[in-house]
């Protein structure tokens, strides 16, 4: 089936091959540390061998749960979750879906999201929408205590129980949470929801290959077995026994760190296909939360080209020279449009007649890459043969593996996120949550 590939030729005018290769031995040690669970954050390394440990019976169970809910003839499936309990499913579903899927019926429910913000308008409008629809939902929270999804689920649970009755509502809710701990586990047990477990040793942003991602991806009609297969193949392709010269994850980690040491502290993930927008959002969380600590870390940014060439293109071409780009380049698109001859040719586009729109997109990509490299922005390319379940499985596992390696090169613990607590503490203090009395007093004195 082939593999995704990495091309970093267009970084070599900025950092040398020798500099990149100088990370080789260190990366070998880090890769072994990931697999042997001897590095920093080693209680959160369940994702490393996760693809190969996924059993057929588990996949069959997820498929059966999906079928059972689909048989209720729902048109909407709501996924309640935030951060790592949201972005993976959103990224994969968007990448695989028709751009206008919300206006079309392909026989599968529309998967929509809740609890990923605290917008009152969003929740109100969602509840209004659901009043006249047939729906079911999954609520996902590893900790089971995250405010955003808990708040949304409290309202949506009331609505679904009102609409279908408590017993039928329980048949329409799947809870994905910790095996034992947390408020959501307690609630799911009390209400008798079908539940799936997020393994203890898999952090949120590394959880797309657990039920966190798989339930929603399956519900949207996509092949979770192919997705897992892609990840399994990439697990093998990036294992410690694969030499640096063939190991994409090690190479990506090496190039990023070589560029970072050379002052390139912002990485922009670029796509030329709007379906990949949320892959970049998922990637931003993965790298931002894993590397951004102890005053260190490459800042992960993203653009959708060519749209953003008309907004961000100027800065990338001529702004501060701290940037490098990583392009997710898709070889084969799914559809075909040939540009037609026009008798009047007022738009002067006849020179393109007979060519595909994708050809124009690819020339935009090539032209932009060359321009940005000329402007001082090193460029890497991740080549995706096609956007399908299999290659997305490869891509997401590749990014996870490279992230673990890259974080170890930076000498941080890539698997914690202590900084996320600061806003929560202030929010709870301002909301006067019981137990936060001291913090409330302190923060009120500052405002």
Cβ neighbours of residue 69 closer than 8 Å, sequence gap 6 or more = 77, 136, 172, 174, 219
Residue 355 a catalytic site member: no
How many other CB atoms sit within 10 Å of the CB of residue 438? 9
Among positions 67-86, residues that touch ligand PA5 (CB under 6 A) are 82-85
Question: Which listed residue (97, 116, 141, 413) binds ligand PA5 by CB under 6 A?
Answer: 141
Residue 161 vs residues 136, 200, 281, 311: alpha-carbon distances, Å = 11, 30, 33, 46
State the binding string over 193-212 for ligand PA5 (x if CB under 6 A, else -).
----------xxx-------
Output the six-digit token pair for 387: 């956007």
Nearer to ligand PA5, 206 or 324 (CB): 206
Report which of 418, 412, 317 is spatially closest to residue 369, judged by C-alpha positions: 317
- Sign of the CA dihedral running 257, 262, 268, 271: negative
User: Per rule CB under 6 A, is residue 157 in the interface with ligand PA5?
Assistant: no
Q: Which residue number has the CB closest to ligand PA5?
A: 204
- The DSSP secondary structure of 402-427, one letter per residue, reads HHHHHHHHHTS-TT--GGGHHHHHHH
Active-site residue identified among 18, 310, 336, 348 = 310
Question: Which listed residue (94, 233, 267, 289) binds ligand PA5 by CB under 6 A?
Answer: 289
How many other CB atoms sit within 10 Å of the CB of residue 131? 10
Active-site residue identified among 289, 291, 365, 389 = 289
- Window of 119-127, 141-149, 152-160, 213-221 that interacts with ligand PA5 by CB under 6 A: 141-149
Q: How many CA atoms lie within 13 A of 77 on its CB side?
A: 29
Nearer to ligand PA5, 203 or 300 (CB): 203
The answer to whether the CB of 309 falls within 8 A of the CB of 368 is yes
Reported in sequence order, the residue ranges of 173-249 that DSSP labels E, i.e. its strands, are 173-177, 194-197
- CA end-to-end span of the chain: 59
User: Per rule CB under 6 A, is residue 213 in the interface with ligand PA5?
Assistant: no
Residue 289 a catalytic site member: yes
- Window of 26-34, 143-151, 158-166, 237-245 that interacts with ligand PA5 by CB under 6 A: 143-151
Among positions 402-431, residues that touch ligand PA5 (CB under 6 A) are 417
Residue 125 a catalytic site member: no
Nearer to ligand PA5, 90 or 205 (CB): 205
Number of residues that bind ligand PA5 (CB under 6 A): 14
Q: Which residues bind ligand PA5 (CB under 6 A)?
A: 82-85, 141-143, 146, 149, 203-205, 289, 417
């Amino acid at each position: 089936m082939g593999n995704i590939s990495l091309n970093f030729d267009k970084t070599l005018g900025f950092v040398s091959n020798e500099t990149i290769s100088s990370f080789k031995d260190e990366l070998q040690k880090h890769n072994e540390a990931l697999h042997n669970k001897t590095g920093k954050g080693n209680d959160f390394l369940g994702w490393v061998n996760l693809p190969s440990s996924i059993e057929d019976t588990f996949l069959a169970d997820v498929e059966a749960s999906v079928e059972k809910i689909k048989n209720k003839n729902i048109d909407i499936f709501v996924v309640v979750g935030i951060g790592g309990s949201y972005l993976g499913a959103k990224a994969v579903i968007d990448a695989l879906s028709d751009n206008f899927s919300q206006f079309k019926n392909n026989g599968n429910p529309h998967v929509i999201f809740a609890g990923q913000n605290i917008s009152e308008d969003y929740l109100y409008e969602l509840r209004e929408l659901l009043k006249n629809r047939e729906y079911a939902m999954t609520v996902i929270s590893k900790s089971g205590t995250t405010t955003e999804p808990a708040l949304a689920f409290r309202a949506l649970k009331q609505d679904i129980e009102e609409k279908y009755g408590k017993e039928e509502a329980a048949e329409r809710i799947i809870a994905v949470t910790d095996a034992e701990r947390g408020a959501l586990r307690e609630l799911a047990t009390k209400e008798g929801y079908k539940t799936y477990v997020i393994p203890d040793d898999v952090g949120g942003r590394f959880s797309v290959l657990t039920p966190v991602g798989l339930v929603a991806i399956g519900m949207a009609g996509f092949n979770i077995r192919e997705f897992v297969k892609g990840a399994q193949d990439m697990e093998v392709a990036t294992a410690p026994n694969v030499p640096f010269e063939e190991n994409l994850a090690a190479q990506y980690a090496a190039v990023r760190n070589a560029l970072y040491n050379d002052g390139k502290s912002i990485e922009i993930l670029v796509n030329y296909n709007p379906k990949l927008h949320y892959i970049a959002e998922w990637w931003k969380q993965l790298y931002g939360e894993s590397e951004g600590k102890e005053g260190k870390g490459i800042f992960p940014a993203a653009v959708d080209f060519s749209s953003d060439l008309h907004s961000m293109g100027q800065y990338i071409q001529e702004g501060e020279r701290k940037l490098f780009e990583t392009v997710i380049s898709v070889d084969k698109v799914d559809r075909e449009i040939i540009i037609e001859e026009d008798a009047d040719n007022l738009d002067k586009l006849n020179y393109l007649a007979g060519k595909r729109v994708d050809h124009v997109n690819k020339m935009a990509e090539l032209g932009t890459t060359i321009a940005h490299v000329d402007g001082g922005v090193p460029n890497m390319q991740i080549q995706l043969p096609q956007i399908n379940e299999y290659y997305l499985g490869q891509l997401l596992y590749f990014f996870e593996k490279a992230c673990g390696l890259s974080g170890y090169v930076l000498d941080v613990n890539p698997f914690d996120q202590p900084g996320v607590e600061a806003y929560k503490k202030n929010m709870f203090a301002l909301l006067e949550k019981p137990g936060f009395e001291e913090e409330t007093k302190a923060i009120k004195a500052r405002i």
